[in-house]
Structure 1
Amino acid sequence: MPDTGRSTYKYPHLECSSTAAMFRSPRVMTYALLSGVLLLVVLTVLSQENRISPTSRLRYSRFLDSSNLVFLRWDFDLKAEIITFELQVRTTGWVGLGVTNRYTRAGSDLVVGGVLPNGNVYFSDQHLVDEDTLEEDGSQDAALQELKEDESYTTMRFSRPFRSCDPHDQDIADDTVRVLAAYGPDDTPKLDRKLTFVKSIFLLQIVHPDDLELPDDTIIHDLELTDFLIPEDDTTYACTFLPLPIVSQKHHIYKFEPKLVEHDETMVHHILVYACGNASALPTGVSDCYGADPAFSLCSQVVVGWAVGGTSYQFPDDVGISIGTPMDPQWIRLEIHYSNFHNRAGVYDSSGIRVYYTARLRKYDMGVLQLGFYTFPIHFIPPGAESFMSYGLCRTEKFVEMNGGSIPDIHVYGYLLHTHLAGRSLQAVQYRNGSQYRVICKDDFYDFNLQETRDLPHRVEIKPGDELLVQCHYQTLDRDSLTFGGPSTINEMCLIFLFYYPRNNISSCMGYHDIIYVAHELGEEVTDPMEGVMALSNVDWTPENIKTAEKASKEAQQTVVIKTIDEVVENTTGWIPDIIPTPRGPCLESSGGKVEVQDKIPAGFRTAPVSLKGSGTSLWHLSLVALLCVQGALSWLLTSLQATV
């Protein structure tokens, strides 16, 4: 691999001597030199920021198999767009790590390495030609940092760019990544399905719970059901109302985690905690959230949420959920969604959410804003669709009025994405003054089995008057009947929860299309929304009609439903704006790199940064150059100052 990063640096003695020649006589130049030296020191420090050396501790980790034999650590440098992996496997044979896609292992990339019996190491960047056949890439874009073997384990550590210029390498972005790991008992790299594992991971997570300090006065409180008999139905939404901890002064909840009971199969799909307005008349006991008694669906302000695949979540250190003041909720609605697809009988559950709170207050009180397509049967997805888009619009111009006064700008720091089994991708897009402003969050490779609260790399500001659009992408090739919006796992949802500060009274802002217009575009004569929904069953869902339905759903007027924490509801209307695709960033050029078809501008190529090199010596040498120059310049500066006194 050509060392393109090093070739741009000059020799240190030439840099220093030319600097000294500039500052020999005028006293006034002394101050200019001092400024330059200080700037050089700052640049040197900045060049070291966030750099991951071959010996750095990697912050994130996960087992990739159920037997805990395949262990992955990783870390990344967002600025350099480099990610470092360390794979440890209980084997003395070969190991491999890469990225695959949702549907097939063919085309997956896999970095392969191992240690031969004579102590020599082998390492290469490869890809799968088909489900089982490995072939070496023409462009080697992974840089080895360490490969070692003992009597039990083989450990391979390497770095690679988020996006190389090699079409055989899968991109790593702010999406769910399906990590592929494989190994063998000897040093002949050959895939064995029993020794190959795929796990969905959000690799570029920003905040990790272990990175944040836990207050000494932390108190733990569980919000849970107790010995609830799970019905034998496919889908159950169980709700109960529970008091929040009673405290004599304001506290902040700063962390939550699921409290799950182990069963033979995963039956808990998601858990949501809703804050209740203090004036609400709340029922007792446990009942169906959306059944005969409407009281069990009271309270719509989501406070925290967990879904299958998620783990614990700790808020950034300047935000928390406020409890203990007259403005704070005293009760919550706990909602647990059970999926009992095997209709098992006699299964009891005591799951819930565990919260951590403290009197050590954070700077901001947080809130949650629910966006998306209003969940009811007007939301539909045709069967046999390779691709189908749904849209939910939010218009914020009524927020001030509904909040009961002025509303500060909303600062979004995190999000949770949620669809059911047909969902393939989601995104939330922000518009200001009629133009697209930014994509707030997205996941182009959404996985139903990995739903977790994620932090944004940069906080986003939403102003009153902005429009927010949620787009959900579905695929229903495995279905022969319509899928409607609804609570069951076999129904669909299209939701994004934005975590923000400072808290206001708005709980949700969601849209739905004019189903009568959609039905008319499909050739169905209807006069009311119920007829419109029923008429969809008469449609012959050909690829042409699927596209017609998608186009009509986007063109139809949207009704926007805005709710407050006290269940005040107001509607407005709007139209779905176009979404301008986000351009892909430049790729990192390596040996044999090629321009991809979708990269229309060759200038998209960029030299691989020196932190890609396994040893990291180039950047260290650059820093040494700077330090030597600083040392020489400071010595000359002291001499000059003494001479002028």
Structure 2
Amino acid sequence: MLGGDLMVAQRQADGITWRAADYFSTGFQRPTLDTMQNVTLLSAAVVGNVTYVELQRPLDPCGDEQDRPVLYDTMQTVVFAHGRTASLSYHGPENRGSLQLRLNPAPSRAAAQAATPSGGALKVYDLRMPNFTVPTDETSYQCVNLELPYALSKQHIYKWVPLITSPLLHHYVIYACNRPPASVGVSYECLYNAKPMGCMRFWMGWAPGIGETFAPEEAALPFGGAGGLRYVTLEMHYSNYEGISGQVDSSGVRLSYSSVLKKYDMAVLELGSEAIAIPPGSSWSTKAVPCPSECTSRWLTQPTTVVGSFYHMHALGRSMITRHVRAGVELPPLGRRDYFDFNFQSQVEVPFNARTLLPGDTLVTQCNYSGAGRSSTTMYGPSSLDEMCYNFMYYYPAVKGFEKCTEVYMNVVTCSSVETYWSTPGDTAGVRKAFKDGNLMYVPGDVQYKPYTRQCYADTLAPGQSLPSPRQPPSQSSPSPTPGRSSPSPSPARTPSPTGRKGQPGGGASTKHTPPPNKRSEAPSPDGGSPRRRPKSRQLLLQLQQQAE
């Protein structure tokens, strides 16, 4: 499990006692025991064909680099696997799964998600690909322009859930349209044939690892009403490396929406770089690309809340981060992917202590890659064999026009709406005007700032919250529990570690009641693999950059 912080529970040969241990993994390999063992087994039971295990560990590793913090009120990805033996050697597609959980939720979170808006239940609407037969090509893109449910007044989307019908679907992206497209409901190839020019703004998406997504308590994506969003483009990326024929796909998304509005509209800001050239066989990073303070000052007039990010690279991507700088001092990052996997992507929620963006702040995004296995330079592009570096960041309140702040050529970033960028005239006068108007900005050199140092429990406890008291595990001599029965739980015994490392707590089965199984979510997230034709103005940027120097 790439970058895994693992807790492992094993039933011993006697079939009665259990043992727990703390492992970690930095690659697709057999996990390694942590140097610091801080996992405690609270209870375990096998009932019929279901295994229940209850484990305890600190919220914050506080210096243990082999563990990851359990963030306060932040969705995190949990991957699980199981087997019939004590060996950890199996690696394959079976006996495993994943889901996104808020392991340390705010007290009001569950009630906010369960509540329906006053005035009635949520309405439901599906956006789907109309029964498309997937080609036998290794990589294919298919698009369809769709109309959202007609509404005279503005609507807010409270929740969206992926509807996945084909194993060949690698990811999908839904783009918002600024004007009605020429055709609706008829799919078309869109790897080489571009989407409508007015349908380029990222709205939502899915990739393996993402389940149902709830809007934040105070804001939601809007559509409908006078001048509101009415049309979207659904873009599917299929990967069919085995050339399977006859696969019909009707995947999409189910929207739950209401005319009862939340306090704010939510929007998406595109960060990252398109200046990518990864040498074969070498590690390489993009420039630490700033969305400069001049850009946030131009668009923002009040404190803005950042909700989450969808980080997107392709197969060579290894890690990605968006740093947050204010007045020369780095604040907690808006999110990061220390171990990026192209085949397992998800939306990353921003930790609660890093969610406020102010006018004049700088956002610095950087992608890291490995060119191992390639024989030529890998450039930016839409194919799975090309590369990308994007962070699609959800924020509120929405600011009309604050949509794209990405590096489109070395040391040149956009600061505009997506439509403004794509419609920039291709002559010298048009590009010069874009710089003058602030839609393009020259950002030479690296951003200078005092680096951020994470403090223990900085993002795992709510303000004013004290550390929870740990529960005590039962004695090692206890038999396997019977569901529904309980008994005292004395302090844990410690067993010698077989590796000679620090002893690990647990080892005995608990007589506490059998824990209920976690409520699972389905799996969803975006991926920005769309074909992107350059505006004609792009070819003039190098010339203008040289003149500026």
Same fold (TM over 0.5): yes
- In structure 1, what is the Cα distance between the partners aligned to 2:262 and 2:157? 10
- In structure 1, what is the Cα distance between the partners aligned to 2:36 and 2:469? 17
Identity across matched positions, percent: 25
- In structure 2, what is the Cα distance between the partners aligned to 1:234 and 1:489? 9
Secondary structure of 2:157's partner?
strand
The superposition leaves residues 326-375 of structure 1 with CA deviations (integer Å, 9 ceiling, x where unpaired) of 2411212222222222333443322222211112221111111111113x
1:81-96 equivalences under 5 Å are none
- In structure 2, what is the Cα distance between the partners aligned to 1:434 and 1:150? 57
- The answer as to 2:338 corresponding to 1:479 is no
Correspondence for 1:381: 278
- In structure 1, what is the Cα distance between the partners aligned to 2:335 and 2:363? 11
1:226-305 equivalences under 5 Å are 226-262=130-166, 266-278=167-179, 282-284=182-184, 285-289=186-190, 291-292=192-193, 294=194, 296-305=196-205
Correspondence for 1:577: 447
TM-superposed CA distance for 1:194, in Å, is 6.9
Correspondence for 1:48: none
1:31-180 equivalences under 5 Å are 101=2, 111-114=8-11, 117=14, 119=16, 121-125=17-21, 140-150=37-47, 152-162=49-59, 164=61, 169-172=66-69, 179=79
- In structure 2, what is the Cα distance between the partners aligned to 1:109 and 1:580? 33
- The answer as to 2:470 corresponding to 1:611 is yes
1:511–1:209 Cα change, 3 Å: farther
Aligned mate of 1:313, from 197, 201, 213: 213
- In structure 2, what is the Cα distance between the partners aligned to 1:565 and 1:512? 12
- In structure 2, what is the Cα distance between the partners aligned to 1:199 and 1:468? 34
Correspondence for 1:561: 414
Correspondence for 2:391: 496
The superposition leaves residues 277-332 of structure 1 with CA deviations (integer Å, 9 ceiling, x where unpaired) of 24x6644543343534x563432222222223322211122211222322411212
| Residues 276 and 331, structure 1, Cα contact 8 Å, conserved in 2 | yes
| Residues 137 and 168, structure 1, Cα contact 8 Å, conserved in 2 | no
| Residues 331 and 452, structure 2, Cα contact 8 Å, conserved in 1 | no
| Residues 240 and 296, structure 1, Cα contact 8 Å, conserved in 2 | no
Amino acid at match of 2:442: T
| Residues 273 and 304, structure 1, Cα contact 8 Å, conserved in 2 | yes
Aligned mate of 1:507, from 374, 391, 403: 403
- In structure 1, what is the Cα distance between the partners aligned to 2:233 and 2:200? 9
TM-superposed CA distance for 1:498, in Å, is 1.0
TM-superposed CA distance for 1:420, in Å, is 1.1
Aligned mate of 2:252, from 336, 344, 352: 352
- In structure 2, what is the Cα distance between the partners aligned to 1:311 and 1:116? 37
- In structure 2, what is the Cα distance between the partners aligned to 1:460 and 1:348? 41
- The answer as to 2:207 corresponding to 1:337 is no
| Residues 176 and 446, structure 1, Cα contact 8 Å, conserved in 2 | no
- The answer as to 2:313 corresponding to 1:419 is yes
Structure 1 residues not aligned, in runs of 5+: 1-99, 515-557, 588-606, 620-645
- In structure 1, what is the Cα distance between the partners aligned to 2:361 and 2:28? 47
Secondary structure of 1:492's partner?
coil
- In structure 1, what is the Cα distance between the partners aligned to 2:256 and 2:222? 12
* Backbone CA RMSD of aligned residues: 4.0
TM-superposed CA distance for 1:251, in Å, is 1.8
- The answer as to 2:194 corresponding to 1:324 is no
TM-superposed CA distance for 1:252, in Å, is 0.9
- In structure 1, what is the Cα distance between the partners aligned to 2:28 and 2:416? 49
Secondary structure of 1:296's partner?
coil
Amino acid at match of 2:357: I
Correspondence for 2:114: 213
Higher normalized helix content (fraction of residues): 1
TM-superposed CA distance for 1:217, in Å, is 2.4
1:110–1:272 Cα change, 3 Å: closer
| Residues 508 and 562, structure 1, Cα contact 8 Å, conserved in 2 | yes
Amino acid at match of 1:393: P
Secondary structure of 1:397's partner?
helix
Secondary structure of 1:212's partner?
helix
1:212–1:320 Cα change, 3 Å: same
- The answer as to 2:299 corresponding to 1:446 is no
1:228–1:132 Cα change, 3 Å: closer
- In structure 2, what is the Cα distance between the partners aligned to 1:420 and 1:198? 23
- In structure 1, what is the Cα distance between the partners aligned to 2:134 and 2:168? 9
TM-superposed CA distance for 1:395, in Å, is 2.7
- In structure 1, what is the Cα distance between the partners aligned to 2:35 and 2:322? 38
The superposition leaves residues 179-219 of structure 1 with CA deviations (integer Å, 9 ceiling, x where unpaired) of 5645435xxx4445279966666666677889712524211
- In structure 1, what is the Cα distance between the partners aligned to 2:31 and 2:279? 38
Count of paired positions: 439
- In structure 2, what is the Cα distance between the partners aligned to 1:259 and 1:475? 33
Aligned mate of 1:429, from 303, 323, 331: 323
TM-superposed CA distance for 1:479, in Å, is 2.1
TM-score between both structures, scaled by the size of structure 2: 0.68
Correspondence for 2:90: 193
1:397–1:143 Cα change, 3 Å: same
- In structure 2, what is the Cα distance between the partners aligned to 1:297 and 1:173? 42
- In structure 1, what is the Cα distance between the partners aligned to 2:36 and 2:441? 54
- In structure 2, what is the Cα distance between the partners aligned to 1:429 and 1:312? 27
1:209–1:275 Cα change, 3 Å: farther
- In structure 2, what is the Cα distance between the partners aligned to 1:206 and 1:492? 35
Secondary structure of 1:567's partner?
helix
Amino acid at match of 1:335: E
The superposition leaves residues 154-187 of structure 1 with CA deviations (integer Å, 9 ceiling, x where unpaired) of 43322112555897954346697785645435xx
- In structure 2, what is the Cα distance between the partners aligned to 1:135 and 1:430? 33
TM-superposed CA distance for 1:397, in Å, is 2.8
TM-score between both structures, scaled by the size of structure 1: 0.59
Structure 2 residues not aligned, in runs of 5+: 425-438, 458-465, 475-487, 492-549
1:482–1:134 Cα change, 3 Å: closer
Amino acid at match of 1:340: N
| Residues 427 and 471, structure 1, Cα contact 8 Å, conserved in 2 | yes
1:545-560 equivalences under 5 Å are 558-560=411-413
Correspondence for 2:263: 363
- In structure 1, what is the Cα distance between the partners aligned to 2:200 and 2:34? 52
**Further displaced range: 567-576 or 423-432:** 567-576
Amino acid at match of 2:134: I
| Residues 276 and 299, structure 1, Cα contact 8 Å, conserved in 2 | yes
| Residues 379 and 387, structure 2, Cα contact 8 Å, conserved in 1 | yes
TM-superposed CA distance for 1:408, in Å, is 4.0
- In structure 1, what is the Cα distance between the partners aligned to 2:19 and 2:384? 44
| Residues 152 and 226, structure 2, Cα contact 8 Å, conserved in 1 | no
- In structure 1, what is the Cα distance between the partners aligned to 2:452 and 2:260? 41
Secondary structure of 2:242's partner?
coil
State which structure, 1 or 2, has the greater radius of gyration over its C-alpha atoms.
1
Correspondence for 2:545: none
The superposition leaves residues 463-499 of structure 1 with CA deviations (integer Å, 9 ceiling, x where unpaired) of 3332211111112222222211111111111111111
